[in-house]
Amino acid sequence: MPQKVYIETVGCQMNVLDSELVVGALRRHGYALTDTPADADVLLFNTCSVREHAEDKTYSALGRVRHVKRRNPDAVIGVLGCMAQKDQDAVRRRAPFVDLVVGTGQLAEVPALVDKVRATREPQLAVSLGRADAGRHEVEASFVSYDPARDPSMRPTPFQAYVRIQIGCDKFCTYCVVPSTRGPEQSRPPEHIWAEVRQLVDQGCKEVTLLGQTVNSYAYQRGESRTRLSDLIAGMHDTPGLERVKFVTNYPKDMTDDLLDAVRELPKVVKYLHVPVQSGCDEVLRRMKRNYTAAYYVEMLARCRERVPGVAVTSDFIVGFCGETEESYRKTADLVRAARFKNSFIFKYSERPGTKAAGRYPDDVPDEVKKRRNNDLLAIQTENSRLDHRAQVGSTVEVLVEGPSRHGERVAGPVRQLTGRTMTDHIVVFDGSDRLIGQTVRVAVTDASPFTLYGDVEPASRERERPEDATPVAHAPGSPGRFPLPLA
């Protein structure tokens, strides 16, 4: 019987990718994946520290699996990723039954560390000592020998994959732990990325999402030659079999015209930009150290829409940041109302020990005020999302079919409810047979809710449902299925 590994992932897409890589490495080490903690020999938690809530979720999940060790004293429980890097040995003070604490830069070592716990029953800690320690060697280790070792069964779907193009972050927004959990910003050599994309496409992948904390700051310098994100995308665009290229997350100050021109001109590039503004108040933006004003962002947004007609833009917001007054919140609400984002993720400020904001500014907005502003902003955004989605009714959209919708998962039969995304990242739900999964079909949009389009597959696309034309794609066993993309 092979040893079994169970893994739970919270946090951003970077973590989803890291979990895929860890499982890939463990499989080559002879492990099989299980989705039942009680059956597992190794239980891993890939963690996020961006908000306190994400950490609490991990500690309660750890509490729930603690009993596994009572029945199976050889079981290994591991905490991986951002919380491991941030809290290091403090993880074991709060959860002493944890055997393994592995930071974001050491994930390639997980199989060896598991073996070591097994052999010695001594807890193992592998983390970077600080940002300075997370240097070149780690980048090379995680980029060259690590990223190609992937596990298709862990992907969002068999035909969609994440590709890391950059690690770390150098922006140091005052509220944010990421620069300390992920280390300095470093861009991966373009040739490695192109090779990985080719490899993924050979495995049946149709859509790649390029990942970086500030993905549009991507730049790789070799001698005189500099590869920007626009060049990187152009270099992979014509890969035969590749249908879609996305990239997240963008930093407003680095949204250059060459990138916007590439998004407009290259047909495989999804016309969708996630560019978080965080706040609409200059005073708050200054305390956040975002390096732009609200007016700058509004001008950048207009430039995105002018250079890429029809582009869908989404944002993140933090409400209740230190010193946010009713007046500053009102400015944010005004910005959200006017900006007409396709969608926004809204978070209540969560003070993170060790960040600049925690040291400099008191977390002085009461929780009930944060909650009220959160709900209020959500209501404004939901109305805009409704208008944005309604505007698509009557049009025909190209949909990459991802799989059964949540409703469709419960129904078995020749035709059920499927879901997929358009070239502007809008979610579409429609009826179709499983043979359409993994294909791009044309859907006439007939109805819309704030976050979903509804429609009918065009007859020409339905033709392809005939068995002779289509290869059905099933989720590999153990696949976690589609991931909800909102962060922790």
Q: How, if at all, do strands 4-9 and 32-33 pair?
A: parallel
Measuring CA to CA, how many Å separate 175 from each of 290, 350, 359, 423? 10, 8, 10, 33
Note whether 50 binds ligand SAH by CB under 6 A. Answer: yes
- Nearer of residues 97 and 292 to ligand SF4, judged by Cβ: 292
Smallest separation, CB 230 to ligand SAH (Å): 19
CA distance 165 to 211: 6
Number of neighbours of residue 86 by Cβ within 10 angstroms: 23
Sketch the per residue contact string, 150 through 169, with ligand SF4: x for CB under 6 A, - otherwise. Answer: -------------------x
Pick from 148, 181, 179, 178: which is nearest to 164 by CA? 148
Q: How, if at all, do strands 100-102 and 76-81 pair?
A: parallel
Sketch the per residue contact string, 152 through 181, with ligand F3S: x for CB under 6 A, - otherwise. Answer: -------------------------xx--x
Q: Residue 428 corresponds to which amino acid?
A: V
Note whether 15 binds ligand F3S by CB under 6 A. Answer: yes
Note whether 332 binds ligand SAH by CB under 6 A. Answer: no
Q: State the residue for tokens 């001698």.
A: 223
Smallest separation, CB 276 to ligand SF4 (Å): 7
Full DSSP string of 90-104:
HHHHH-TT--EEE-G
Q: Which residues contact 102 (CB under 8 A, 6 or more apart)?
A: 78, 79, 80, 81, 84, 109, 110, 113, 124, 125, 126, 127
Report helix, strand or coil for 50. Answer: coil
From 47-55, 188-196, 220-228, 467-475, give the range in contact with ligand F3S by CB under 6 A.
Answer: 47-55
Instruction: Answer with the entry of ligand F3S, ligand SF4, ligand SAH, none that 19 interacts with (C-beta below 5 to 8 A by kind).
Output: none
Note whether 230 binds ligand F3S by CB under 6 A. Answer: no
Note whether 100 binds ligand F3S by CB under 6 A. Answer: no
Instruction: Answer with the entry of ligand F3S, ligand SAH, ligand SF4, none that 232 interacts with (C-beta below 5 to 8 A by kind).
Output: none
Note whether 173 binds ligand SF4 by CB under 6 A. Answer: yes
Instruction: Answer with the entry of ligand SF4, ligand F3S, ligand SAH, none that 106 interacts with (C-beta below 5 to 8 A by kind).
Output: none
How far is Cα of residue 69 from the mean position of the Cα atoms in its chain? 32
Number of neighbours of residue 341 by Cβ within 10 angstroms: 22
Note whether 249 binds ligand SAH by CB under 6 A. Answer: yes
Note whether 350 binds ligand SAH by CB under 6 A. Answer: yes
User: Could you say which DSSP state residue 9 is in?
Assistant: E
From 120-128, 173-181, 279-287, 426-434, give the range in contact with ligand SAH by CB under 6 A.
Answer: 173-181
Strands (E) located in 258-370: 272-274, 312-319, 343-348
Instruction: Answer with the entry of ligand SAH, ligand SF4, ligand F3S, none that 14 interacts with (C-beta below 5 to 8 A by kind).
Output: ligand F3S
Note whether 51 binds ligand SAH by CB under 6 A. Answer: yes
Task: Describe the crossing of helices 326-339 and 294-307 by its angle, rounded to 10 degrees.
Answer: 10
Of 42, 62, 117, 178, the one binding ligand SF4 (CB under 6 A) is 178
- Nearer of residues 51 and 271 to ligand F3S, judged by Cβ: 51
Site for ligand F3S in 61-90 (CB under 6 A): 82
Of 14, 16, 270, 322, the one binding ligand F3S (CB under 6 A) is 14
Q: Residue 415 corresponds to which amino acid?
A: V
Which two three-digit tokens encode residue 168?
């770390």
CA distance 429 to 452: 7
Of 316, 398, 409, 456, the one binding ligand SAH (CB under 6 A) is 316
Of 12, 83, 84, 176, the one binding ligand SF4 (CB under 6 A) is 176
Q: How, if at all, do strands 124-126 and 440-449 pair?
A: unpaired
Note whether 357 binds ligand SF4 by CB under 6 A. Answer: no
User: Could you say which DSSP state residue 278 is in?
Assistant: B
Of 22, 23, 40, 50, the one binding ligand F3S (CB under 6 A) is 50
Instruction: Answer with the entry of ligand SF4, ligand SAH, ligand F3S, none that 349 interacts with (C-beta below 5 to 8 A by kind).
Output: ligand SAH
Site for ligand SF4 in 109-148 (CB under 6 A): none
From 232-240, 347-355, 386-394, 397-405, give the range in contact with ligand SAH by CB under 6 A.
Answer: 347-355
Angle at 345 between CA 380 and CA 10, to 5 degrees: 155
Give per-residue burial for 178-213: e unless 16+ CB within 10 Å, then b.
bbbbbbbbbbbbbebbeebbbebbeeebbbbbbbbb
Q: Residue 181 corresponds to which amino acid?
A: T
Contact set with ligand SF4 (CB under 6 A): 169, 171-173, 176, 178-179, 213-214, 251
Contact set with ligand F3S (CB under 6 A): 11-12, 14-15, 48-50, 82, 177-178, 181-182, 487-488
